[in-house]
Structures are given as structure tokens and as C-alpha cells.
Amino acid sequence: MPAVFYELTMNANDRPFALFVTWTCYGTWLPGDHRGHVSNVLLPTARYQRSDDMPGTPFAPGDSRTRKRAVSLQKYSTTRLSSVEAHAVAESLLQTAITEGWSILRAAIMFNHVHVVVCKCPCDGPAVRRLLKGRAHTDLSRSSREPRRWWTQGGSDRYLNDESSVAGAVRYVANQPNPLAEIAEGRILIRE
């Protein structure tokens, strides 16, 4: 691993550290989704079976009844990012990192979700994710002149505490299919 990469990912205990945060666009991964989910499942009796959302618990399989109910409860239209919007998200993520003194090792913005591997940040995944998402939300609404619901509530925060997990997360994000915008080592990638 290059020395610069290793240096960027050191935490206060002289161990590599980064966060791998992910969130989805509003309405694009609902409870009951065929890709799996970690939400409560709607039973035929109209009651819900509570999900086991402990870390490491496998996704529940898709469930059409649960998904149909989730669609009916949506308050806003499903958000699918355009390439222009994805580029605005990338710019916002970079500006947030610069303002906070963080480093984005890799990010990929797809039409329906965002992955970011960030280091030199606090060891508080939810707070880091909320700040990245919140500023991207504000910047998207400002640039589109359309206040709307861009993101799903919550997201995923993975703590990366060794070189191989940081490298693996960077590789995973770099290999995302069909990203609309990407960040690598603190710069937006321009694809021809």
C-alpha cells in the first residue's frame, strides 16, 4: 500500500482508520425490496414481524406485500439522481471534507445510492454520514431550486480499522457499476 494512503488513514492510536458510509436515494430501496431488506415484514394478518436489525444479521428476503405497503406510505416521489445531480453531490462531498479537514479516499454516486470512504474524520459514523448527507441535500436543493426529499433516512456506517479493510472498501467503491460521478483521492473523476 502506498505510504501516502497509509498515512492518510492513521487514527489517534497509530492504526489505520476510515469510515465506509452508504445511503440511498429516497424511495429506491423500500422495505420488502427483492434485493433484501432489514425492515419489518407485513404479515397476512396486517401485523408486522419485527426485523432483527443487529449488525451482521442477514437481509430479509424480498416480500411483495411489505413492498406494496411501503410504496403506499411514501410521502414524496422516488428520487433518481441525474448525472448533473450526481456531479453536484460529488462537489458537495468534497467541499464538506475540505471544510471539516477530512479526506475522501473514494466515493461513487449512482442514480439510487451513494458510497463514501472517508478518513481523518471523527470515529462517529452516524455523525459523519449525517453531515455528508445533510450538506449534499442542501446543495442539491439549492442547485435544483427544488426543495425535495433526496435521501432515505439513515444509512450504513462501517468502521475500517486495518489496511486490508480500508483497501477493500476503496476497491469495492471503485468497482461500482455505472457510477454517475466518482471521487478518487480527493478529486472528482471525469469520465470520457
pLDDT in tens, 178-192: 999 999 988 999 765
Other CB atoms within 10 A of residue 51 CB: 15
Q: Are residues 110 and 51 in the same domain?
A: no
CATH number at residue 106: 3.30.70.1290
Q: Are residues 54 and 130 in the same domain?
A: no
Q: Note whether residue 51 is domain-resident.
A: yes
Q: Is 106 helix (H, G, I), strand (E, B) or coil?
A: strand
pLDDT at 74: 81
Q: What is the DSSP letter of 148?
A: -
pLDDT of 173 over the 70 cut: yes
CA 130 to mean position of chain CA atoms: 10
Round to whole Å and give the CA distance between 158 and 169: 9
pLDDT at 99: 97
Confidence of residue 12 (pLDDT cuts 50, 70, 90): low
Q: Are residues 58 and 95 in the same domain?
A: no
Q: Note whether residue 173 is domain-resident.
A: yes
- Evaluate whether 156 touches 7 at the Cβ level (below 8 Å): no
Q: Note whether residue 90 is domain-resident.
A: yes
pLDDT of 1 over the 90 cut: no
Q: Are residues 11 and 99 in the same domain?
A: yes
Round to whole Å and give the CA distance between 187 and 104: 9
Q: What is the DSSP letter of 128?
A: H
Closest by Cα among 140, 156, 79, 81 to 111: 81
Q: What is the DSSP letter of 111?
A: S
Q: Are residues 129 and 87 in the same domain?
A: yes
Q: Are residues 20 and 106 in the same domain?
A: yes
Cell of 176: 461500482
Q: Are residues 20 and 55 in the same domain?
A: no
Q: Are residues 123 and 173 in the same domain?
A: yes
pLDDT at 38: 57
Parent domain of 48: 41-73
Categorise residue 150: left if φ over 0, alpha if ψ from -120 to 50, beta otherwise: alpha
pLDDT of 4 over the 50 cut: no
Round to whole Å and give the CA distance between 170 and 166: 6
What would the pLDDT profile of 127-145 be if each residue is shown by its tens digit? 999 999 999 999 999 988 8
What would the pLDDT profile of 78-120 be if each residue is shown by its tens digit? 999 999 999 999 999 999 999 999 999 999 999 999 999 999 9
Q: Note whether residue 178 is domain-resident.
A: yes
Q: Are residues 68 and 158 in the same domain?
A: no
Mean pLDDT over 48-63 rounds to: 60
20-29, 38-47, 83-92, 149-158: least confidently modelled range = 38-47
Q: What is the DSSP letter of 160?
A: E
Q: Note whether residue 136 is domain-resident.
A: yes
pLDDT at 130: 97
Q: Are residues 170 and 132 in the same domain?
A: yes
Round to whole Å and give the CA distance between 139 and 131: 12
Confidence of residue 3 (pLDDT cuts 50, 70, 90): very low
Q: Domains in the chain: how many in total?
A: 2
